[in-house]
Structure 1
C-alpha cells in the first residue's frame, strides 16, 4: 500500500460519516471505523465480501435501486432510507467511478424521530382542528383541506382538490371574497364573513381568516381558517326578520290594531284602524280610545281592568262606533303587553269588522231554513247519507211513501236499507268501484219496496253534498214514485198504437181484398173444372200466407205486449214496418226508398215499441206529401257507439214557430191529429237511451233523425 493511499485511508477513518468503497463487482474494498460501528460489522469481516450477499435485506430496499442507478448513469445520488434489520434511518450519498462506488452515510434516526414528532404535531393540529383549515395556490385552487372542512361543506378531500374556491362562494358575496383573497395573496392577512354553498345546496355562513403562505420571502399561496357562524347569523337574521314581521304585522294587518297604556291613553294605531273607524293617528294618539259606544263604556272599562291583571279576551263579539257615528259589528281580541319582568305595561287590541259576516250569517240562517223547509215539505222522498254510507236524514215524504218511520231508517248503512230490492243492491255492490262518489245520477228508473211489500216504480236521482270548504261531505238521494205515471204512459202508448192501427185499417183492408179476390177466382175456376188444380192450390196458399202476414203485423201493433229488450237488427224491423205501410204509400202516390248501410250493428231495443215509432214517422211522412213524392229511409252507423235512422220526406214541411212546439202533449200540425204520436215516439226513443232530432223547411220537406246506442252484448 502506498503512503498516499495509507494517508487517504487514515483521513477517511477520522471523518464522522460512515464510509465504504465498492469495486465494480460490488465487493467491499474499504470500510472506515464509523461505517463498522454503524453497520455493526468489523472491517475485516466486510472487505473483499459482496455487499448484497452480506446485506441481502438491502436488495429489496431503496439502497439497491439508488446504488445501481449511480453506477448505471455514472451520477452521484443522495437519499434518505430506512434499514429495517438495524432499525435505523440513514442519509446516504454515493459517488460512482469507473472502478466502483464510494458511499458516505450518516445515522439520522434521532433527527428523523424528532422531525416526525414535529410533523405529527402539525398534522394533528391541522386534522384535529375543530375549525375548517385549508390552503390555496395563487390561482385559488385548493391544495389541502382538513376533515373539519369536509364536514363543513360536505365535499370530500378529493373533490376539494379538484376545485377552486370561486364556485363555492354565494354569488352576492363573490366579489367581496375575491378582493380579500387577492389582498392575502399580496401578504396582508384578511378577516371577513362570507356565505358559501354546501354540497347539498344550503347556505353556510362563515367567519374566514386568510393568511399568506410565504416561502423564501415570496408568497406562494394562501392559508385559510373558517368558522361556521350560520346559527349566529341565522339568529341575527331571524331577529331582524322578526322585528320586520312585527312591524309589517301591525302596519299591513287587515284588522284594526291599537295600543294603549295603563291610563287608557292611545300609544299607537295602524292604518287599518284609520280606515275602519275614520280617525287619523294624530287625532287619537295621547287620547282615550274613541271607538267605544256610550252604552258599552262601563262594561269595556271592566274588561280593560281584567286585561291589566294579565288576562286575555279572545274572540269578543261586540259593537264599535265609527267617527261618523255609525255602528259596526266587530270581533275583538284584547291582550296585555308585558315587559321583560312580566309586568303589565299596557294593552293591545285587535278587531275585525264582521258586519258583512253577521249579515251573511243571517242570510245563511234564512237560506238554511228555506232548504230545510224544501226538503221536509218536498213531495218526493229525500234521504241524505254521510261518507260512510249511513243515513243521516229522511224527510216526511219518505215516511208517507214507503211506510217506514225516520227512527227505523236513520243510521242504517246503504246496504242494510229494507226498501231496496236485493238484486238492485247486488248490482250496486258490483258497480261500486266504477262509479265515482261525486257522480250525478238523474232520473234513473228503478224499483223499491214499501214496508207492506208493495213494489213501487221510482225515478232515482243522486247528488253529492259539499261542506263550506268545497269538500264532499256525503250525498242525497231523491226517489220519486212514478208507479202511476208509468201505468198512464203504458195506457197512452197502447192508445196511440190502437189509433194508428185504426188509421191503417183502410189500407190494410185494400191490401187483403186483392189476395181474397185471387182466391175467389181460383175457387170459381176449380168448381168449373178448368186448369191445373195443384197449381191453383199453390197460388192460393201463397195469397193466404200474405193475408196472414199482414194480419199478424196489425195484431202485433194493436195488441199490448210486455216490454222486452233484446239485441235486434234495426233494418229487419224497418222492412217489416215498410211492408205494413206499403199499400197506404201506394194509395197516397208515395214511393218508399230504403238506403241501408251494410254491416250496421244491432240495437238493444223492444221490437214492438220500435215498430210503433217507425210506423208513426212513416205515416206522418206519407200524410205530409199530399201530392205524392218519395220518402227516403236511411239506416247507417254514425260512429262506434251509435246507429242513426233518418226519415226524409218531400212534404210541406213545418214552420219554424211550430217546430219549436213539437213534442208537447196534444200539439199537432194535422187537422185530425191527437198530438200524442210524436210525443210518445220521442219518449220511446229516449227510454232506449236514444235521441230524436227534427229539421224542416217550409215547402221543402222534413227530416227526422233517430240516434240509438249500439248493443255490445249482441
Structure 2
C-alpha cells in the first residue's frame, strides 16, 4: 500500500464521523473504527459483505432510497434517518464515485431527542399559552399560528395560515409600518398595532418579534408573540381623562370631601363640604380641620395615626360639627394618599350626613318595640313560623288560650303542633303551602284543642312574612277563640226566634180563632138538631187539621233544636212558611203570589233555620207594604249547581244609606225591631254555603235574592 493511501486511511480512522465505503455491488470495501462502534459490528465482520444483506431492515428506510439516489444521479445526498434495530438517529452524508459510494455518518440520537423535547415544549407552550404565537416566512406569509388566536381574534388557525402578515392589519397601521420599518430591523423589538377581529372590529395587539437568520444574515422566519392590549389601550385613554374626572367627582360629589396633609392642614375641600358644614373653602384651607368636636378629638387623633400608617377606615359612623355648632351624625371613610413610591403624604376624607337615617333608625326601633308590645299584649294568639314550618315565636295569649307554655311550642314542627287534631293535619299542610306561595288566608274557621283536651272553635288568619329581598321567609298565624262568640250567635238566633214567634202570636191567634168559631157554630147547629150533618163535620175536620198545621209550624219555630242538615224540597218549605204567614198577609191586605219553577229542587239544609230566614224575609216584605200590596216569591235554577229564591215586594223601598247599614247589629227601620233579624238570616244562609243579595229603590219596592247550592244526583 502506497504512502498516500496509508495516510488517507489514518485520516479516516481519526475522524469523529463513522465512515464506510461501498463498491458498485453494495459490498463493504472499508469500515473505520468509529463506524464499527456506531454499528456494533467488527470490521472483519463487514468488509466484503453486502450492506443490504447485513442490514436488511434499512431497505425499507430512507437509507436505501437516498443511497440509490446518490448513485443514480451521481450527486451527494444528506439526510437524517432513524434506524430501529439500533434505536438510533443518524445524520448521513453520501458521496458517489465511479467505483461506488462513500458514506459519512454520525449518531445524532441525543441531539434528536433534545430537538424533540424542544419541539414538544414549543407545542406545549404554543398550544396552551394565552398569548398568540405566530411564525412568518421571509416572504411575509404566516406559516404557523397558535390556537390562542381563537381567543384573541376569533379566527381558526387554518383561516390565517398562508395569508400575508398585513392582510388583517388596520390599513393605517400597515401603511405606517411598511413605510418606516423593515423586518430585519425589528428583531427583539416590541410594537403595537390594530388587527381586525373576525367579528369585524379591531383589536389592539402588542407583538414581540424575534428574527431567525441564516449564515448569510438573511431572514429565515420571524417569530411573534402577541397579546391583546385593547383593555390597556382603553385604560390609557381613560387615564388621560382621570384628572378631569377626579376633579369633577370631587367638585360635584354630593358627599363632603376634604384633603389634609400629614400636619393635618386642609389642602382642599369640595362644595358639598361647604354646604354641609357651612365653612367656605377659603376659611379652612391651610387651617386645622374645624369639623371635629372637642370631645371627639382624642379618638380622631388615634384614627388619623392609623390612616397615616397606611390603613383605610371605612364606614366610620361618628359625629361632626357645623360652623354654627350643631352636630351631625355622619358616615365617613378615611383613606391614605400616597406618592409614586408608596409613601403616605396625606389623608382624604369623604363623609355623608346620616342624621335622617339615625332618626329613622330610632323611629324604627320605637316601632319595633311597639310591634313587640302589640304581639305580646294582643288578646288573640299569634304564632310565627319560619319558611320550613317551625314555630319561632308565640305570645302570651297562646299560653292563656291553649295552656302550653312558649318553651313547649317554640321549635315544634308544623306536623307536630299539639293543638291540631289529627284529622286536620293534611288541611293545615295545604294552608301552609298556600301561604308559603305568598297568599294571605283570612277567616278560616277551625277546631283546635287546648292542652286539657277541650275543643275550641277558632278563626285563623295566615299572612306571609317577607325578607328584605321580597322572598317569603315564613308566616304569621293569628288565632281568635270563637267559642264564646259562637255561643252568643246561637243566643242571638234564639232571641230572634222568640221575637218572630211573639210577632206571629197575634196572627196565629186570629188564624186559630176563625176555625174555632166555625167549629163552635157547627156544633151549635148540630145541637139544634139539623138533619144533614156530614157537610158540617167535613168542614170541622178541615178546620181542625188547619189548626194542627199552624200549631206544628209555630212549635217547630219556637222549639230549640240541634242543627241538622237534611235533604228538603225548597218549594215544600216555602209552601209551609206561606201557610204560616198567610193570615198576617191577609190582615195587612198583602197578596202572596207563588211563582215556583215546575221542576223539583232539593237543598241540603237545616229546615228550622231556613224557615226562620224565609219567615223574616216575608214578614219584612209585609211590613214594607203598610197600605197593602203584592209579594212575589219566585224560585228558579241558575245552573246545575245553584238556585235562586227571590222575595219581591212593591213596598216603600229603602234609600242607599239604609242599604249600606243593613245587617249591622241593632240597626233597624222598624219601631219595635231589634236589627238582628237580617244579620242572623244572612249568617244562616252563609252557613248553608249560600249568598244574599238586596236590590231596593225608594217607592219602587225591594227584592231579596237568596242563592243556595242544589243537591246533585238525587
Q: TM-score per shorter chain, which class? A: 0.5 to 0.7
Matched, 1:419 2:419: yes
Paired residue for 2:231?
234
More displaced stretch, 451-460 vs 267-276: 267-276
2-structure distance, mates of 1:368, 1:233: 54
Paired residue for 1:630?
630
CA positional deviation for 1:360: 1.0
Where 1:131 maps in the other structure, the secondary structure is strand
2-structure distance, mates of 1:713, 1:347: 88
**Which runs of 5 or more residues in structure 2 are unaligned?**
1-64, 67-72, 80-118, 120-125, 184-190, 209-221
1:191-210 correspondence to structure 2 within 5 Å? 193-194=193-194, 196-198=196-198, 204-206=203-205
Where 1:130 maps in the other structure, the secondary structure is strand
1:636-655 correspondence to structure 2 within 5 Å? 636=636, 643-655=643-655
**Which runs of 5 or more residues in structure 1 are unaligned?**
1-85, 88-106, 114-123, 135-141, 170-175, 210-223
Paired residue for 1:495?
495
1-structure distance, mates of 2:590, 2:635: 19
Paired residue for 1:443?
443
CA positional deviation for 1:272: 3.4
CA positional deviation for 1:411: 2.0
**Does structure 2 conserve the Cα–Cα contact (< 8 Å) formed by 1:277 and 1:291?**
yes
Measured against aligned partners, the alpha-carbon deviations of 1:551-599 in whole angstroms (never above 9, x if no partner) come to: 4433332222223456766555444433433343233332233445688
Paired residue for 2:134?
131
1:47-126 correspondence to structure 2 within 5 Å? none
2-structure distance, mates of 1:703, 1:336: 83
1-structure distance, mates of 2:195, 2:578: 91
1:249-398 correspondence to structure 2 within 5 Å? 250=250, 253-339=253-339, 341-398=341-398
Paired residue for 1:48?
none
CA positional deviation for 1:177: 4.5
2-structure distance, mates of 1:437, 1:609: 39
2-structure distance, mates of 1:563, 1:463: 33
2-structure distance, mates of 1:316, 1:186: 60
**Does structure 2 conserve the Cα–Cα contact (< 8 Å) formed by 1:393 and 1:410?**
yes
CA positional deviation for 1:444: 2.6
Check 1:628–1:316 CA distance in 2 against 1; reply closer, same or farther (3 A cut): same
Check 1:614–1:180 CA distance in 2 against 1; reply closer, same or farther (3 A cut): same
**Does structure 2 conserve the Cα–Cα contact (< 8 Å) formed by 1:194 and 1:208?**
no
1:596-635 correspondence to structure 2 within 5 Å? 605-635=605-635
**Does structure 2 conserve the Cα–Cα contact (< 8 Å) formed by 1:132 and 1:227?**
no
CA positional deviation for 1:380: 2.0
Where 1:287 maps in the other structure, the secondary structure is coil
2-structure distance, mates of 1:544, 1:619: 25
Paired residue for 1:409?
409
Check 1:423–1:150 CA distance in 2 against 1; reply closer, same or farther (3 A cut): closer
**Does structure 2 conserve the Cα–Cα contact (< 8 Å) formed by 1:594 and 1:632?**
yes
**Does structure 1 conserve the Cα–Cα contact (< 8 Å) formed by 2:291 and 2:322?**
yes
Measured against aligned partners, the alpha-carbon deviations of 1:624-665 in whole angstroms (never above 9, x if no partner) come to: 112221212344566898655432211122344444433233
**Does structure 1 conserve the Cα–Cα contact (< 8 Å) formed by 2:435 and 2:464?**
no
Measured against aligned partners, the alpha-carbon deviations of 1:408-444 in whole angstroms (never above 9, x if no partner) come to: 2222223322222222224213555455453223233
Paired residue for 1:555?
555
**Does structure 2 conserve the Cα–Cα contact (< 8 Å) formed by 1:260 and 1:266?**
yes
**TM-score, normalisation: structure 2:** 0.66
CA positional deviation for 1:545: 6.2
Check 1:506–1:109 CA distance in 2 against 1; reply closer, same or farther (3 A cut): farther
Check 1:185–1:297 CA distance in 2 against 1; reply closer, same or farther (3 A cut): closer
2-structure distance, mates of 1:502, 1:285: 96
Check 1:555–1:181 CA distance in 2 against 1; reply closer, same or farther (3 A cut): farther
CA positional deviation for 1:612: 1.6
Where 1:305 maps in the other structure, the secondary structure is helix
2-structure distance, mates of 1:153, 1:427: 63
Where 2:360 maps in the other structure, the secondary structure is helix
Matched, 1:666 2:669: no
2-structure distance, mates of 1:593, 1:187: 115
1:116-195 correspondence to structure 2 within 5 Å? 130-131=133-134, 153-155=153-155, 177=170, 193-194=193-194
Check 1:157–1:568 CA distance in 2 against 1; reply closer, same or farther (3 A cut): farther
Aligned residue pair count: 578
CA positional deviation for 1:332: 2.1
2-structure distance, mates of 1:569, 1:145: 97
1-structure distance, mates of 2:688, 2:201: 66
Check 1:143–1:677 CA distance in 2 against 1; reply closer, same or farther (3 A cut): same
**Does structure 1 conserve the Cα–Cα contact (< 8 Å) formed by 2:648 and 2:704?**
yes
**Does structure 2 conserve the Cα–Cα contact (< 8 Å) formed by 1:183 and 1:189?**
no
Where 1:296 maps in the other structure, the secondary structure is helix
1:501-580 correspondence to structure 2 within 5 Å? 501-509=501-509, 511=511, 549-565=549-565, 570=570, 573-580=573-580
